Amino acid sequence: MKAILLAAGRGTRISRMIEDIPKSVLPIDGTPLIRRSVMMLIKKNIHPIICVGYRKNKIFEALEGLDVTYCYNPFYDVTNSLASLWFAREELTEDTIIMNGDVYIDEDILNRIIETKKVCSLMVDTGRTVEGDYFLKLENGFIEKYGKDLPLQERSCEYVGIGKIRREFTGKFKERLGELMDNQQHQLWWENILYSLADSKEKDIETIDIKGCFWSEIDYFDDYERIIAHIDKEISSLSGGLR
């Protein structure tokens, strides 16, 4: 199994708060977030492929000494994650986890996506429908509608920022990726590959629900602070209230 981590973007919504570093290298209890994620993957014998762009040297520093493969998106400032994935397309040869580099998860969440047998799926949280960044409407666990501005009454869950493509589906997945890039759709997110397949009724896109688990994608500084508070709470609990 492989994992592609998308960490090429600048993160404009949080960049003014963290100056000139990629948000994926923000420290989590002293360890850069992306290093923490990569170490979890390596521990599971999953090879990480890192898509870099903005301030790539900061990510190289954060991952120094780890066995990873890098793919570079030189157009990171005018493209989105679809283009970053296109630069890593040759790595889509095995069961592959695809995740945004700024997502905080724990080992239990990682195990859930490793173990799923679903051919192509996105991880969701049905416990979040009011506040969040990107919402989905599900029908029997399959994606029916999606969007940042999805009306509240249509929201079934928030999208977590992680998906998985099984080996038998990588051919069709890469084909649609190429079609979108050929049509100059490089400002789309990588998830639009799956959304477009669902829209055209070519493939039902399944979901993996992690309701009740703690996770966070860092879009705003508040998201980062929420992760730090969660870590502090966990450490305090383990140490009997002493930090």
Could you tell me if 56 and 72 are in contact, meaning their C-beta atoms sit under 8 angstroms apart?
A: yes
Whether the CA torsion 144, 7, 188, 134 is positive or negative: it is positive
- Residue 205 has a pLDDT of 97
- Residue 241 has a pLDDT of 55
Domains of the chain and CATH, by start: 2-234 (3.90.550.10)
In sequence order, what are the residues at sequence separation of 6 or more whose Cβ sits closer than 8 angstroms to the Cβ of residue 160? 103, 105, 122, 123, 124, 125, 210, 215, 217
Show the low-confidence residues of the chain (pLDDT under 70): 11-19, 239-243
- Residue 46 has a pLDDT of 98
- Residue 13 has a pLDDT of 52
Q: Which of 218, 214, 207 is closest to 233 using CA atoms?
A: 214
Q: Which long-range contacts (CB under 8 A, 24 or more apart) does 225-232 make?
A: 227/28, 227/104, 228/28, 231/28, 231/29
- Residue 12 has a pLDDT of 55
pTM (2 d.p.): 0.93
User: Cβ–Cβ contacts within 10 Å for residue 119, how many?
Assistant: 18
Q: Count H helices, E strands: the chain? A: 8, 13
- Residue 220 has a pLDDT of 81
- Residue 21 has a pLDDT of 81
The pair of structure tokens assigned to 195 is 């959304």
- Residue 243 has a pLDDT of 46
Could you tell me if 178 and 170 are in contact, meaning their C-beta atoms sit under 8 angstroms apart?
A: no
